[in-house]
Each structure stands twice: as structure tokens, then as C-alpha cells.
A = this chain, B = another copy of it.
Amino acid sequence: MSPKAVDKKTKRQMIMRAALEVFAEQGTEATKMIDIARRAGVGKGTLYEYFPSKEELIAGSMLMMMDELDARMVERLYPLVDPLDKIRAFIEETFSFFVEKEDRVKILADFYAAGIPRPDSKPLIADIDKRYVELMEWLAVIIDEGVERKSFRPVDSKQTASILLATIDGLLFQAMLGLMPPDREKVLENVISLFLDGIKA
């Protein structure tokens, strides 16, 4: 990797980071290229040196965000052994990720919208569903471990993973709407407890 290449890559990332900020504040649609350029501190034309179109810039930014979350997740879960700890950490980490950076959660609606398959045009982000499935399979492995260790009931691990992921997504959407209660700690505990013990008396 020549120093040039690093610079180019770094600048690309800087632009995507600026874009994500503005996307979060205004939504991808309402965001104009000039807004991103100004936020990134570059000229409008410069954006097109790094991305062929607004669409690609959106897709790139979103994928970068996914990669960052993935990386953090791997790093966080790597040292853990107990499946229960892993799941707890998974939920915690996801929440932290989307809340720590101002408004990052507000990207989520655009993010999902970008993955919707439409009849006459490919989805904005091609493999968002594959990424999602990978995540689910990763969780499923953890759940399988738990089942093997007799920590969990013998559940359908894939569907259980799907449901857990759904719950996390759903809660993030509530946060997006401003509905999350201030004590996230307690919410987390309740999710864990509900997920583990159910609601039945």
C-alpha cells in the first residue's frame, strides 16, 4: 500500500463519515451533495472523485457502517466464552454502537429502505440481506453452543437468532422515533431476561 493509496482510502472514509453524519440528521433523500461536501470540507466535485454518484456514496457509507459494527462486534465477543455472555454483549454492543454517536440510529430507516428489493430497480445496497443473514447465522452458532452446553432449551437456533435480531432492530427503531426510555440499562436487562426466561409465570 503506497502512501498515496492510504491517503486516497483515508479521504474516502472521511467523506463517508461526513456523509453518515448528514444522512443521520436529514435522511439520505433530503441530503444534498453540497451538504456532504461542506460537512467533509471539500468541494462538490471532489465527492465525484471518490464516488461515481450519490447512490454509490450512500451505499458505500452504509457498508462502511456495517463493517465498523462487525469489527467492533468481533472484537467485543472474541474473548467471551459463555454463550449467554456473548448474547448479552451482542445486544449491548449493538445498542452502544447506535447510540454513542449522535443520531447514528436515525440512519436505520434509510438503511433498511436501501435494502428493499424493488420490482424495477435493484436495491440500492445489493447484499444487505446477505449481510443480515450472516449476522443471523453468527448468532445462531452462539445459540447452538448454548444449546449444546445445555444453557438453553433445544430451540431452532436460526429462528431464534432471527427473533433476537428482530427484537434488537425493533428497539432501535423505537429509539429512532425517540421512544426509548432513558434507562437503557434496564431495557437491556429486560430484553435479556425476557429472552432467557420468557414471560410465563
- B113/A109 in contact, CB under 8 A: yes
Range of interface residues on chain A? 35 or more
Q: Which of A103-151 contact B (CB under 8 A)?
A: 106, 109-110, 112-113, 115-119, 128-129, 132-133, 143, 146, 150-151
Interface of A is mostly: helix
Give the complex CA separation of A54 and B156 in angstroms: 45
- Please state if B159 and A190 are interface contacts (CB–CB under 8 Å): yes
Q: Determine whether the beta carbon of A194 is less than 8 Å from that of B155.
A: yes
A residues with CB within 8 A of B: 25-27, 29, 106, 109-110, 112-113, 115-119, 128-129, 132-133, 143, 146, 150-153, 155-156, 159-160, 162-163, 165-171, 173-174, 176-179, 181, 186-187, 190-191, 193-201
